Amino acid sequence: MAAVVQHGRRWWVLAGFALAVVVVAGVGALGVRGASGEYGGLARPSWAPPAWVFGPVWTVLYAMIAVSGWIAWQRAGFSWVFAVQLVLNAVWTPLFFGAGLYGLAFVDIAVLWVMIGVNVVVFRRVSRVSAGLLLPYWLWVTFAAVLNLSIWRLNAG
């Protein structure tokens, strides 16, 4: 009976991880209301993607982030590093789009990038799959950080 309860609990925890990334995405969604027009109005580098790309990319990444956290939790329990990187992720969009604080948003995304790296190292110790699921996220945040820096520099002044 205990194995059945434990097995059932695992799925509830997966739902909790999914809820956590939905909350992060929701904070981001609130921060980007009308941002498509704002993004289009910014001076951007020629390699900047169109606004419609971000939604589908983040949807896939958030699913991978939730599964990664869940796998690591099953083997090692709660990770504060995972929680910190989620908070930093949630803060970036309101800083960049909501407040137009491109420099502060860059600081946030730079710290986020470091925390994702720490998260990969921590998760790698307990599960290669869990760490591997974070690699596309880390790559995308690398790209987003360079884009953030470029937009900040192009729109300063």
CATH code assigned at 68: 1.20.1260.100
User: Is residue 47 scored above 50 in pLDDT?
Assistant: yes
Give tens-digit pLDDT for 57-109: 999 999 999 999 999 999 999 899 999 999 999 999 999 988 899 999 999 99
pLDDT score at 98 = 86
d(CA 77, CA 126): 10
Which residue in 19, 17, 18, 58 sits closest to 35, CA to CA?
58
Contact of 117 with 55, CB cutoff 8 Å: no
User: Is residue 31 scored above 80 in pLDDT?
Assistant: no
Q: Could you list the residue range(s) of the whole structural domain that residue 119 is in?
A: 2-155
pLDDT score at 5 = 40
User: Is residue 3 scored above 50 in pLDDT?
Assistant: no
User: Band of the pLDDT at 13, cuts 50, 70, 90?
Assistant: confident
d(CA 117, CA 114): 5
> What crossing angle do the helices spanning 128-155 and 102-124 adopt, rounded to 10°?
170
User: Band of the pLDDT at 4, cuts 50, 70, 90?
Assistant: very low
User: Band of the pLDDT at 53, cuts 50, 70, 90?
Assistant: very high
Number of domains the chain contains: 1
d(CA 151, CA 103): 9
Structure-token pair, residue 119: 């998260």
3-state SS track over 68-118: HHHHHHHHHCCCHHHHHHHHHHHHHHHHHHHCCCHHHHHHHHHHHHHHHHH
CA 54 to chain centre: 12
